[in-house]
Amino acid sequence: MISFLQKQKQTLVTIGVTVIVMYSCAPPLSKIAKYGPVFENVMRSEMGIFRGFSLGNKIDSVQLKEPLKPIEADTDYLYYEIKPDSSYSYNITYNFDETGLDEIQSDIYINNVTVADDVFSKFKMYFDEHFGESQNHQGYTVWTVKSEKYGLIIINLSDESADYSADRAGGKISLWIYPDKD
């Protein structure tokens, strides 16, 4: 007959093994999770300059990696609208030229202006950490990134909430990434 203490010991061992197995099966947090769920959903990946893409990627590569089908598509253009939940939505425009992905634009609409301010700060923090301190240029937050293929790449982040806001409206953040052709 098994004693009471032996049963408790078996139960504790079983619970311990179960916890270890469950914890080891949980997916690891992504490196961009620290910036919050809205940022993580919009950026999707820490690879590349945006959503795992870099300027120069081919149109078919972008279509394969984007989880949704584009709302609009042409030989040099892809347009997506994404609404993860009722608190925010965003769109992404990818423009292509003969060398591949040439420009990325995204507008992020957030129902709560305070959350929009926080998401803007997270984008700024992420780009500051990855590409150095930003510059303020005519009300835009701008990073100039050196690229072997394109020379200089401009990342332009703006909080357009003041222009977007009406009574009880939320916020709008715009992101524009393009090669500096000047």
Q: How does pLDDT run along the chain (182 residues), one tens digit per residue?
A: 566 666 666 665 565 555 555 544 555 567 889 999 999 999 999 998 999 999 999 999 999 999 999 999 999 999 999 999 999 999 999 999 999 999 999 999 999 989 999 999 999 999 999 999 999 988 899 999 988 878 899 999 999 887 765 555 789 999 999 998 87
Long-range contacts from 123-132, C-beta under 8 angstroms, 24+ separation = 123/35, 123/39, 123/157, 123/173, 123/175, 124/157, 125/35, 126/32, 126/35, 126/39, 126/43, 127/155, 127/157, 131/155
